[in-house]
Amino acid sequence: MTESCGILIKGGKVVNEDCSVISDVYIKNGKIISVGQNLQIPVGVRVIDATNKLVIPGGIDTHTHMELAFMGTKAVDDFHVGTKAALAGGTTMILDFVIPQKGRSLLDAYNSWREMADPKVCCDYSLHVAVTWWGDKVKKSIRKIKTFLGKRQLDGLITCFPFFLPCICPKWFYFQVKTEMETLAKEKGVNSFKMFMAYKDVFMLKDSELYAAFAWCKELGAVAQVHAENGDLIAEGARKMLSLGITGPEGHELCRPEEVEAEATQRAITIAHAVNCPLYVVHVMSKSAAKVVSNARRNGRVVFGEPIAAGLGTDGTNYWHKEWAHAAGFVMGPPLRPDPSTPGFLMDLLANDDLSVTGTDNCTFSVCQKALGKDDFTKIPNGVNGVEDRMSIIWEKGVHSGKMDENRFVAVTSSNAAKIFNFYPQKGRIAQNSDADVVIWDPKMKRSISAKTHHQAVDYNIFEGMECHGVPLITISRGKVVYDDGQLQVSPGHGTFIHRQPFSEFVYKRIKQRDQVNSTPCFLNS
């Protein structure tokens, strides 16, 4: 019995976002060949009995930062260990972020992320790209230069003189961002760009730059993503905390309370609406910000909110923990909120489609790395774990608690992500011709989360000791059993990069129609 002849998953309950049916699933050559009852399959096929188990699409984590160089250090989970841990937790695809330094070529950064990730990834992956610099005077100058030279000559010039041109004409910088976003969207499989409203002087864009960047995303058919926090207020708040002698991890939350996140969320939605651009708010961490997203959706805005495992599974009371290392382990931006009813509230909104998908913002730093901020919370590297535990946390807090059913679980852990980022039903669905990324899930089995047993490189776990119902028994990635009975069997490079086309129908159908019927553009849209 060998997997090269295929795999038959027998007698499980196949769960998609819209229905659950007892079916067999036959897999071969990395694809789902058929789904149905009592499938007749060739001899030699490996048969897996899934009676009383669920057969679900592999999880898609919309937000990770493997081996990210950040705040003077580098995240310890790299693309190898991080994606292996993902598989152990039932996640078969991650979307990571390319984050170029201000002024650095987006394409160069994209290429270096590909070089870093391609040989290491154990599951499939794709890349969002952060736009960390911009200029609002670009549009006209680009058009002029383009008409004068033609696109090809222009691309040639940029390739030949990447440093010289920006020196003689600063507008080239901005021009470069725009053309590079275009190349990324049209040729490199990127259909989502993240803009930061925080990390002042590092990654932050101002409002006029957000406006231009969103408008350009819209022209390219990309999803504009925002890290929504008011970076100016955070800078002022942090200064104030330190001057008051508050240097510990609690200062991280105190200097950026909920309204700092909610205000930026509302501002981003307003700016995106002004250019009829779809907006995706990453890591929605507070009740206030989640309400803003929810209200916007009810007002007809094309906006999606992404809570993360940390925000759904734990809370910001940890910043006041008596052990410094424990408290610092939870530091991330935006912070977890000290209101202990926050995780339940976010889960309710996720269950009711006010929030749409789940990621983790997995960006892990060891206890030792966190100690860079021992005397100053602003120096604690921001980031938490989650890539391995997201599926179990959502099952426990969402499905086991009775807030959502198994179909909504699939929607928020895979299908909605695949729809928004335009690779549905290639992934996010158990159906004929879909990729064979499949998890056999035991909804009744329990496991206890611990850094002692997790597969991540980081030396602590923010969910330490948490008991979760919902355990992945077997994970199949690209048609191969890579995790079975607690054992991982996968090599670096097993995963592959997933190209994503622009103009996802799920996102852009409404946007395009609005453009068509609103022939008199909104006053902000001129």
Chain residues binding ligand URP by CB under 6 A are 65, 227, 332-333, 361, 363, 382-383
Q: Which is nearer to ligand URP, 173 or 196 (CB)?
A: 196
Q: How far apart are alpha carbons 473 and 293 in whole angstroms?
A: 35
Long-range contacts of 114-119 (CB under 8 A, 24+ apart): 114/497, 116/67, 116/79, 117/66, 117/79, 117/497, 118/493, 118/496, 118/497, 119/492, 119/493
The full length of the chain comes to: 526
Please, which of residues 320-349 interact with Zn ion by CB under 5 A? 323, 326
Rounded to a whole number, what is the distance in angstroms from the first to the last CA of the chain? Answer: 64
- Helix segments in 299-366, DSSP class H: 309-313, 324-328, 342-351
Rounded least distance, CB 68 to Zn ion, Å: 8
Indicate which single residue of 124, 258, 361, 389 sits in contact with Zn ion (rule: CB under 5 A).
361
Instruction: Point out the residue whose Cβ comes nearest to ligand URP.
Output: 382
Q: Out of Zn ion, ligand URP, none, which partner does residue 382 contact, by CB within 5 to 8 A per kind?
A: ligand URP
Q: How far apart are alpha carbons 515 and 322 in whole angstroms?
A: 55
Q: Which is nearer to ligand URP, 75 or 145 (CB)?
A: 75
Rounded least distance, CB 475 to Zn ion, Å: 24
Q: Out of Zn ion, ligand URP, none, which partner does residue 323 contact, by CB within 5 to 8 A per kind?
A: Zn ion
Place of tokens 């006041």: 320
Q: Which is nearer to ligand URP, 16 or 378 (CB)?
A: 378
Q: Out of ligand URP, Zn ion, none, which partner does residue 326 contact, by CB within 5 to 8 A per kind?
A: Zn ion
Q: Out of Zn ion, ligand URP, none, which partner does residue 485 contact, by CB within 5 to 8 A per kind?
A: none
According to the binding rule CB under 5 A, does residue 227 interact with Zn ion? yes
According to the binding rule CB under 5 A, does residue 389 interact with Zn ion? no
Q: Out of Zn ion, ligand URP, none, which partner does residue 115 contact, by CB within 5 to 8 A per kind?
A: none
Rounded least distance, CB 195 to Zn ion, Å: 10
How far CA 271 is from CA of 162, 214, 259, 267, in Å, comes to: 31, 8, 18, 6
Q: Of 158-166, 221-229, 303-311, 428-436, which segment contacts Zn ion by CB under 5 A?
A: 221-229
Q: How far apart are alpha carbons 220 and 285 in whole angstroms?
A: 29
Q: Which helix (H) or strand (E) holds 174?
A: helix 171-187
Rounded least distance, CB 65 to ligand URP, Å: 5
Q: Are strands 7-15 and 46-49 parallel, antiparallel or unpaired?
A: parallel
According to the binding rule CB under 5 A, does residue 200 interact with Zn ion? no
Q: Out of Zn ion, ligand URP, none, which partner does residue 306 contact, by CB within 5 to 8 A per kind?
A: none
- Residue 53: CB atoms within 10 A of its CB come to 21
Rounded least distance, CB 520 to ligand URP, Å: 38
How far CA 360 is from CA of 121, 238, 364, 502, in Å, comes to: 17, 25, 11, 24
Q: Which is nearer to ligand URP, 25 or 363 (CB)?
A: 363
Percent helix / strand / coil, the chain, rounded to 5: 40, 20, 40
Rounded least distance, CB 382 to ligand URP, Å: 3
Could you tell me how many residues of this chain bind Zn ion (CB under 5 A)? Answer: 4
CB 123 within 8 A of CB 91: yes
Q: Determine whether 224 is exposed, middle or buried from the number of CB atoms within 10 Å of its CB (0-12, 13-18, 19+).
A: buried
Binding interface with Zn ion (CB under 5 A): 227, 323, 326, 361
